[in-house]
Amino acid sequence: MTTDVAVAQEWLESWTEVQGVEGLVIKGRSQRYLPSARGWFKIRRRHTTEAVVGGITGTLPRPRILVLGRYDKDGVLRLVGRTVPLRPETTLQVAQYVRPAEADHPWAGVRFSSSWGSREPLNVTLVAPELVAEVDADTAIDRGAWRHPLRFVRPRLDATVADVPRFGEGVTPAAG
């Protein structure tokens, strides 16, 4: 526990480098935990990184959520996460760069769930895995995939799928 902001900042930067530590909990010194009450705040460290768009929800002209992957060392596209719903202006931006998948898509026949640990299916349209997306992610990674939805930042038209970090590789801290 600390009341020193500089110490808390150092903890946030150094502890989140250790896998499994997502961030810090901020609360009043004598504040007790109360079930079903919002009084404590969790601060997560966030990073930007790249992933390959392998699927979408919604339609090709209006994608709603991006389903993302990274290639492993054997060249297999592995699922790493999904985005939060795209903003309307972002939807139109992404739509111009996605196209339907070929029959040999690496995720053909895969069933996607709506959220981490859920059995509820997510209706995914597979797309050609050629668009690289820059995403904003927290450090909560489990078995190579992010546990929380990612925030889409922008299409990386200057990058190819070969430029995307491999499955299981870390993320790069965001500037600022």
pLDDT, one tens digit for every residue, the chain (176 residues): 777 777 776 766 666 555 556 666 777 777 777 777 777 766 666 678 899 999 999 999 999 999 999 999 999 999 999 999 999 999 999 999 999 999 999 999 888 876 655 567 788 999 999 999 999 887 555 566 777 789 999 999 999 999 999 987 764 443 33
Q: How far apart are the first and last CA of the chain?
A: 25
Query: Counting runs of H as helices and runs of E as strands, what totals does the chain give?
Result: 2, 12
pLDDT of residue 167: 87
Sign (positive/negative) of CA torsion 58, 63, 69, 71? positive
**Which is nearest to 101 in space by CA: 138, 76, 126, 133?**
126
Q: Where are the domains of the chain?
A: 5-44, 46-173
Residue 99, Cβ neighbours under 10 Å: how many? 11
Task: Residues 46-173: name the CATH superfamily.
Answer: Nucleic acid-binding proteins (2.40.50.140)
pLDDT of residue 76: 94
**In this predicted structure, what is the pLDDT of residue 46?**
60
pTM beyond cutoff 0.85? no
pLDDT at position 172: 42
